[in-house]
């Protein structure tokens, strides 16, 4: 039996990120939720996103097999991280 999330006996927690595309970012460093620019010297958090803009809970990442079309680790501003829930984000992504 597989220990990956594709197996229904191992559900993962996922939460839809409500994407707001009203503004265009002016830099390459921006929040994935509201598209506001994140200044390099300001703190931000990181969230793992699937191709459908679902945030995967950091504690459940090891249960899920990454897909080629996943968006992966994306920056999220502090305010948006609070709206999503801080438990869905990390200070720094751990790349394996």
- Each domain of the chain, given as residue ranges in start order, spans 14-88
User: What residues are paired with 30 via a beta bridge?
Assistant: 37
Per-residue pLDDT of the chain (96 residues; tens, 9 = 90+): 444 444 444 588 999 998 887 888 899 999 999 999 998 888 999 999 999 999 999 999 999 888 999 999 999 999 999 999 999 999 987 665
Q: What is the pLDDT of residue 50?
A: 95
Q: What is the pLDDT of residue 96?
A: 52
Q: What is the pLDDT of residue 23?
A: 81
- Which spans in 1-96 are helix H? 78-84
Rg (CA), the chain: 14
C-alpha distances out from residue 11 to 21, 32, 50, 61, Å: 30, 25, 15, 11
CB 55 within 8 A of CB 14: yes
């Amino acid at each position: 039996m597989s220990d990956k999330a594709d197996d229904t006996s191992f559900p993962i927690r996922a939460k839809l990120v409500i994407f707001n595309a009203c503004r265009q970012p002016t830099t390459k460093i921006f929040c994935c939720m509201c598209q506001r620019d994140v200044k390099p010297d300001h703190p931000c958090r990181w969230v793992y996103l699937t191709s459908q803009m679902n945030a995967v809970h950091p504690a459940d990442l090891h249960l899920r097999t990454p897909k080629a079309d996943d968006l992966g680790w994306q920056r999220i501003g502090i305010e948006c991280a609070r709206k999503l829930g801080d438990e869905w984000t990390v200070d720094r992504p751990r790349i394996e």
